[in-house]
Amino acid sequence: MKQKRIAVVLIMVGCLVLGISQGVMASPKDVLNKAINYIVKVQQPDGGWQLIAGKGESEVETTTWATRALLLTKKNNVAAQKGIAFILKHQKPSGSWNGNIAHTAFAIWTLSDARRGATAISDGVSWLWRVQKQDGGWGPVPKAPNLSIYTAVAIRALLAAGLPPDDLMIKKGVEYLKSVQNPDGGWGVPKGGRSLSLSTAWALYAMLEAGTPKYDPSVKKGLKWLLNVQLQHNGGFCFFKLMPPDPELTAYSILALCAAGVKGKVIDDALYYLEAVQLPDGSYMSRVPKEFKKRNKRNTQTTCFVAWAVWEALY
């Protein structure tokens, strides 16, 4: 009789686990919808978005991320068009946005996805061409040292603008990324810096989107390194092994892995993690944005990149 009760309990537990798993399998769309609803909710009257909702002024870079999330999901065209207007309004006479490589690249990328602002896109691309270093890299601003993340974002933006993978700017950028890969297969933010999932995911994402094949030795080593920092017990990705997971790092990793054609358990586990850590209002907390100085805060940036990643995994 006791053994029978134990068997019944085990069956009930099995069914419960199965039910939870099935619920999780169906949940990425819900995760995406909740994130998008939050993004729409925190848009400011001027059409822009703040890094932290309710604090400070609307920012170009945050607005590009939020607007692209809306464009991808086609959830709220009115909000997206307000975001596009904000982006176009803040372009500088130089063709850049704030004289910053990432701000400019994300603006080009978003406007290209929206098929709006052809002149603005062209001027932005010309500015990126003028400030690219001889070795193919880009830093945060024209005279700053190269960083792998900024180089990767610039490459991805140029591709979005319609430049072919064999364009000289893109080829030089990819070669720069290959040249600064660490011996362990990962990438640091600066050349020679410690390998981090942040920079490794972006480097892989840009290279793969630029046509570097998955069997390329650089890509193979990079993917192996990245997969090694996914936590097996919850599916999240961390900065490097033995660190806590983070939703923004997980989002970046999903983008890179999807570009490599990775499917199955790796992606499913990452999506489970993103569901588990999503806040009730649809937003996310992260310590990744540099402004937070490694403190965990709820923010628009992370929520947008999670939306990008979940959309990429689903569609």
Q: What is the pLDDT of residues 130-139, one digit of tens each?
A: 999 999 999 9
Query: Which candidate, 203, 205, 158, places its Cα nearest to that of 179?
Result: 203
Tokens 């805060």, residue located: 297
Do the Cβ atoms of 250 and 275 come closer than 8 Å? no
**Nearest-angstrom CA–CA distance, 246 and 212:** 27
**Nearest-angstrom CA–CA distance, 52 and 56:** 8
**What is the three-class DSSP state of 286?**
strand
The 3-class SS string of the chain reads: CHHHHHHHHHHHHHHHHHHHHHHHHCCHHHHHHHHHHHHHHCCCCCCCECCCCCCCCCEHHHHHHHHHHHHHHCCCHHHHHHHHHHHHHCCCCCCCCCCCHHHHHHHHHHHHHHCCCHHHHHHHHHHHHHHCCCCCCCCCCCCCCCCHHHHHHHHHHHHHCCCCCCCHHHHHHHHHHHHCCCCCCCCCCCCCCCCCHHHHHHHHHHHHHCCCCCCCHHHHHHHHHHHCCECCCCCCEECCCCCCECHHHHHHHHHHHHHCCCCCHHHHHHHHHHHHHCCCCCCEEECCCHHHCCCCEEEHHHHHHHHHHHHHHHC
Spans in the chain with pLDDT lower than 50: 1-26
**Nearest-angstrom CA–CA distance, 56 and 53:** 8
Do the Cβ atoms of 152 and 203 come closer than 8 Å? yes
**What is the three-class DSSP state of 311?**
helix
Amino acid 294: pLDDT = 85
> Which stretch of DSSP H or E encloses residue 284?
strand 284-286
Query: Which candidate, 110, 211, 108, 203, places its Cα nearest to that of 158?
Result: 108
Amino acid 253: pLDDT = 98
Mode of pairing for the β-strands spanning 284-286 and 297-299: antiparallel
What is the model's pTM?
0.91
First to last CA, the chain: 51
Q: Is 190 exposed, middle or buried (0-12, 13-18, 19+ CB in 10 A)?
A: middle
